[in-house]
Structure 1
Amino acid sequence: MSDLKPALEAVLMVVDEPVTEERLAKALDRTPREVALALRELADEYAVQGRGFELRVVAGGWRYYTRAEHAAAVEAFVLDGQQARLTQAALETLAVVAYRQPVSRSRVSAVRGVNCDGVMRTLLQRGLVEEAGAEPETGAILYRTTNYFLERMGLRGLDELPELAPFLPEAEAVEADSLEGVPSFDPDADDGAGHADETTEV
């Protein structure tokens, strides 16, 4: 175990996406159980030491993340005051995909009541959604969220999405298929962003 932890730290320092325990075990020629135990011990050690980073399980794998309490310092250094935010239109579209996936563009447009082709292209380019086959009846392309989406949201899986019902208007005032009132769960969201131009890239 003494040599396993440093090896895990070295590997995790160079990954650009969460890595599963199985993949780490194979790379380091150890058992998944040994790797899982070492990862959890490392995570606990960082927490006790109050380090500026933490080791977390996100989107089914392990990766280093800066601690939330130091977000301002990281933003000041990395973003230098400029941050590419998703518009309200993009956030609403992403929410529909997240809760209805796999879903076609026409279905997303129907739920939102406005054409969303331009916004969907942007979400595809950002790597937040991806194609998920075709609808048998119509042949329309279906879309779903990606592991990158889970990573950005800090979710282990889709089952950790917040319950939708508490955010909906009164039941008698909204159709069951409506997603109006879905909370903006994107960490980069700008609450003041509008969505008058649905075809503008965001």
Structure 2
Amino acid sequence: MSDEDRRDSLADQAAAWVPPWERPRPPAAEPDTAEAASDVTAPSPATDDLAAQPPVQEPEPAALPGDLDRAESDRTESGRAEPDRAESDRAESDRGEPEPGEPFVGESSEAAGVPRRQAAGRRRVTAAPEPAPELSDTELRGALEAILLVVDEPVSELVLAQVLEQRAERVGPVLDEIAAGYTAAGHGFELRRAAGGWRLYTRPEYATYVERFVLDGQSVRLTQAALETLAVVAYKQPVTRSRISAIRGVNCDGVIRTLVTRGLVEECGTETDSGAFLYKTTTLFLEKLGLNTVDELPPLAPFLPDDVEELADATR
């Protein structure tokens, strides 16, 4: 075969070439084995001519407008897939473990009807507790009286307001009204402010009857030494034992232990220079004396002798 005939044959074959996607689908039935073998073992002359020649580059089919749009969409989706996955991972890590009954971000959330982005950014919102209903003046007065009957130490207005779940500014005026009502009615007890709080006390004019009932012949009075030591602590607090002993002129270790046992004096730290323990009076001390703070203690000047400076110099 001449070169010209060979070129014509190749041109005819290229013109008759059909793209794979346009070729008709082969029949479902498989060809006979013998025929298939004969086709493989007995190549045609045209096949020999093609094998002897260099391969011809097949022309690319013209792209349709729909194919171009589909390719552009595939490139856009492939470029966006990784950022979306990274964003979803960050949202999942920020979200943490799901709450009970809450779907995971992903297939389960989509199956539950929750979009992926919405499920990742969802936060559990709890409803604020409803405020307690405000008591009427009569109910508030009765509740305060019931609490004050069972307290064993003065209770502040803030604590009463928290227990009753009421505003603190309402509690103070009602307590004042209760105290004024007890006084006007002439009861044997009164509501009095002491040690930073409120508590019911017996009236001083009935103290003899109360002492007779409570003491029943038993003496629980403090000794003279204990009273003197307690006075020094009350007016000089915080104070060390050595300072108390220097003021009284005698050792007061045993008396201090007695006052601590009675609950009238307590430790309140140490001195910076010497490291000695400091002592002060307790809330029970204020309660027993009917005081609100130690600032209400009477001044000492009226009880001091006129020659106190001379006595101090003679002691030195």
Same fold (TM over 0.5): yes
Question: For 1:83 and 1:9, how far apart are their aligned partners in 2?
Answer: 32
2:276 to 123, 133, 140: 140
Secondary structure of 2:191 counterpart: strand
- 1:172 is aligned to 2:314: no
Question: For 1:72 and 1:103, how far apart are their aligned partners in 2?
Answer: 35
- Pairwise CA distance, 1:172: 3.0
Aligned to 2:298: 162
2:287 to 134, 139, 151: 151
Q: Which has the higher helix share?
A: 2
- Pairwise CA distance, 1:83: 2.6
Secondary structure of 1:92 counterpart: helix
Question: For 1:173 and 1:148, how far apart are their aligned partners in 2?
Answer: 36
2:161 to 25, 32, 48: 25
Question: For 1:68 and 1:10, how far apart are their aligned partners in 2?
Answer: 23
Question: For 1:117 and 1:48, how far apart are their aligned partners in 2?
Answer: 47
Question: For 2:240 and 2:140, how far apart are their aligned partners in 1?
Answer: 46
TM-score, normalised relative to structure 1: 0.85
- 1:38 is aligned to 2:174: yes
Moved over 2 A (4+): 171-176
Question: For 1:135 and 1:163, how far apart are their aligned partners in 2?
Answer: 26
State how many pairs are aligned.
Answer: 177
Secondary structure of 2:138 counterpart: coil
CA deviation string 1:118-144 (max 9, x = no partner): 000000000001001000100000000
Question: For 1:20 and 1:122, how far apart are their aligned partners in 2?
Answer: 29
Question: For 1:9 and 1:63, how far apart are their aligned partners in 2?
Answer: 10
Question: For 2:214 and 2:279, how far apart are their aligned partners in 1?
Answer: 31
Aligned to 1:72: 208
- Structure 2 counterpart of 1:107, which letter? R
Question: For 1:52 and 1:9, how far apart are their aligned partners in 2?
Answer: 15
2:146 to 4, 10, 27: 10
Secondary structure of 1:30 counterpart: coil
CA deviation string 1:39-80 (max 9, x = no partner): 000000000100010000001100000101111111121211
Question: For 2:223 and 2:238, how far apart are their aligned partners in 1?
Answer: 22
CA contact (8 A) 1:150 1:156 kept: yes
2:259 to 110, 123, 130: 123
CA contact (8 A) 1:55 1:65 kept: yes
Aligned to 1:98: 234
Unaligned runs of 5+ in 1: 179-202
Question: For 1:21 and 1:31, how far apart are their aligned partners in 2?
Answer: 10
- Structure 2 counterpart of 1:102, which letter? P
CA contact (8 A) 1:131 1:144 kept: yes
Aligned to 2:249: 113
Aligned to 2:13: none
Question: For 2:192 and 2:297, how far apart are their aligned partners in 1?
Answer: 17
Secondary structure of 2:250 counterpart: coil
Question: For 1:129 and 1:116, how far apart are their aligned partners in 2?
Answer: 13
Aligned to 1:89: 225
Question: For 2:141 and 2:219, how far apart are their aligned partners in 1?
Answer: 35
Greater CA drift, 31-40 or 163-172: 163-172
- 1:62 is aligned to 2:168: no
Question: Max radius of gyration: which structure?
Answer: 2
Question: For 2:171 and 2:239, how far apart are their aligned partners in 1?
Answer: 37
CA RMSD of aligned residues (A): 1.3
TM-score, normalised relative to structure 2: 0.55
CA contact (8 A) 1:75 1:81 kept: no
Question: For 1:98 and 1:45, how far apart are their aligned partners in 2?
Answer: 33
Secondary structure of 1:3 counterpart: helix
